[in-house]
């Protein structure tokens, strides 16, 4: 495929064919319905909301919004390095990690290059690859876990990028640092591995470890992604970051351009990272309600994944149509979930860990739909 065919004229200035033909990200959209209480459990947003320190930071900077923000978000990037004890100069901030995924694809994968990801991985990897004219390649998983051997077996000479969300969305499962290191060791040095740690802060088991340390020690072909959207409760402000080798940060800076993240978002993110009260509350809330919800769903007879994120994912018995009906009925009862049909799991439903009230009401609602 070529980007443009100079021989061909068109009555309209058409976008590149792979841009028009590509899939569109399906957001967890919830329209307000008059007089009805709806629990939105479809976007993995924090039920605790924005923390007190971040909220104060938003107010504090509100008077200077006629000025451009810090052009490259350096103050936040330095704070991220300090808090995570990582190398300054290797962090780049952007308006949400989904945008950074897009930049990575733009920077490293062109037409007919291959972007490899784990079969039930986050949908942005496939969508962003297609909108760049690259080929998305899904490596089969084993029991809803990313499978390193299967990823390595799917590598071809056209592979440029490998995305692994750890923990993954929508399954909530993770692979160990040893397995990730084995994946990295098995990749050619010209292939970039991106470990997407959007749900890192929620993970409560010792078997899990961030891959950030490996970026420090290892070769030049690994990046780690994080976001302020989930655990820190700042989804609406759009802030994410990537830790990457310096040459890759340099390329990403060129793609990003200046002023990509608003001053309000930068200030809130920095405050959120230092808000120990909010951080502890978010951790305690999720630990408790994740286990509680998972246990109750299993007691009702549902198969669930071993999610370590801020969501549970359960299989709806009876196949794809039954799952659609179940999702619709649950919505009528006031709970908006997310079928994982964009991730190759159309009869699995993902439900965010919401407020205590939402979770306590959810279980009887699901029980009422259970045969």
Ligand X SMILES: Cc1ncc(COP(=O)(O)O)c(C=O)c1O
229 binding ligand X? (CB under 6 A): yes
Closest CA relative to residue 203, chosen from 79, 324, 290, 73: 290
Least CB distance from residue 223 to ligand X, whole Å?
A: 13
Q: Round the CA-based radius of gyration of the chain to a whole number and report it.
A: 21
**Binds ligand X by CB under 6 A, chosen from 240, 245, 263, 354:** 240
Least CB distance from residue 189 to ligand X, whole Å?
A: 25
Please tell me whether residue 242 adopts helix, strand or coil conformation: strand
172 binding ligand X? (CB under 6 A): no
- Kindly list the distances between the CA atom of residue 84 and the CA atoms of 313, 317, 366, in Å, as whole numbers in the listed order: 30, 42, 40
Closest CA relative to residue 170, chosen from 346, 354, 360: 346
The smaller minimum CB distance to ligand X, of residues 55 and 235, is found at 235
The residue of the chain with the least Cβ separation from ligand X equals 96
227 binding ligand X? (CB under 6 A): yes
Part in contact with ligand X (CB under 6 A); list of ranges 76-84, 95-103, 148-156, 174-182: 95-103
What gap in Å lies between CA 258 and CA 241, rounded to an integer?
15
The smaller minimum CB distance to ligand X, of residues 120 and 296, is found at 120
Own/partner contacts of 10-16, CB < 8 Å, gap of 24 or more, are 16/133
Least CB distance from residue 270 to ligand X, whole Å?
A: 16
On the 0-12 / 13-18 / 19+ scale of CB atoms within 10 A, 253 is middle
96 binding ligand X? (CB under 6 A): yes
Part in contact with ligand X (CB under 6 A); list of ranges 78-86, 93-101, 283-291, 336-344: 93-101
Residue with structure tokens 């990730």? 180
353 binding ligand X? (CB under 6 A): no
Site string for ligand X, 126-165 (x = CB under 6 A): ---------------------------------------x
CA geometry: angle at 48 spanning 271 and 172, to 5°? 100
Q: Could you list the residues that contact ligand X (CB under 6 A)?
A: 44, 96-98, 122, 165, 169, 196, 198, 227, 229, 235, 240
């Amino acid at each position: 495929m070529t980007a443009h065919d100079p021989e061909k004229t068109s009555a309209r200035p058409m976008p590149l064919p792979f841009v028009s033909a590509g899939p569109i990200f399906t957001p967890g959209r919830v329209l307000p319905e008059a007089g009805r209480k709806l629990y939105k459990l479809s976007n993995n947003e924090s039920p605790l909301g924005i923390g007190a320190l971040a909220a104060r930071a938003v107010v504090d900077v509100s008077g200077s919004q006629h000025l451009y923000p810090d052009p490259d978000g350096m103050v936040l990037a330095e704070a991220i390095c300090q808090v995570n004890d990582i190398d300054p100069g290797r962090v780049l901030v952007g308006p949400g990690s989904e945008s950074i995924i897009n930049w990575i694809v733009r920077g490293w994968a062109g037409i007919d290059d291959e972007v490899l990801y784990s079969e039930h991985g986050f949908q942005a990897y496939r969508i962003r690859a297609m909108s760049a004219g690259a080929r998305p390649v899904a490596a089969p998983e084993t029991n809803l876990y990313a499978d390193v051997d299967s990823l390595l077996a799917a590598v071809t000479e056209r592979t440029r990028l490998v995305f692994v969300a750890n923990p993954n969305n929508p399954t909530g499962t993770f692979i160990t640092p040893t397995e990730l290191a084995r994946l990295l060791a098995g990749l050619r040095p010209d292939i970039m591995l991106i470990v997407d740690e959007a749900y890192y802060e929620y993970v409560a088991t010792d078997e899990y470890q961030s891959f950030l340390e490996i970026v420090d020690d290892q070769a030049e072909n690994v990046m780690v992604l994080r976001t302020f959207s989930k655990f820190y409760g700042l989804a609406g402000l759009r802030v994410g970051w990537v830790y990457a080798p310096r040459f890759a940060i340099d390329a990403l800076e060129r793609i990003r351009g200046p002023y990509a993240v608003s001053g309000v978002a930068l200030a809130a993110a920095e405050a959120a990272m230092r808000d120990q009260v909010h951080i502890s509350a978010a951790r305690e809330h999720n630990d408790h309600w994740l286990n509680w919800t998972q246990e109750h769903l299993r007691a009702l007879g549902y198969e669930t994944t071993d999610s370590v994120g801020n969501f549970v994912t359960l299989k709806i018995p009876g196949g794809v149509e039954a799952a659609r009906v179940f999702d619709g009925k649950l919505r009528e009862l006031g709970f908006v979930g997310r079928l994982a049909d964009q991730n190759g799991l159309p009869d699995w439903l993902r439900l965010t860990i919401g407020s205590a009230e939402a979770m306590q009401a959810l279980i009887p609602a699901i029980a009422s739909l259970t045969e």
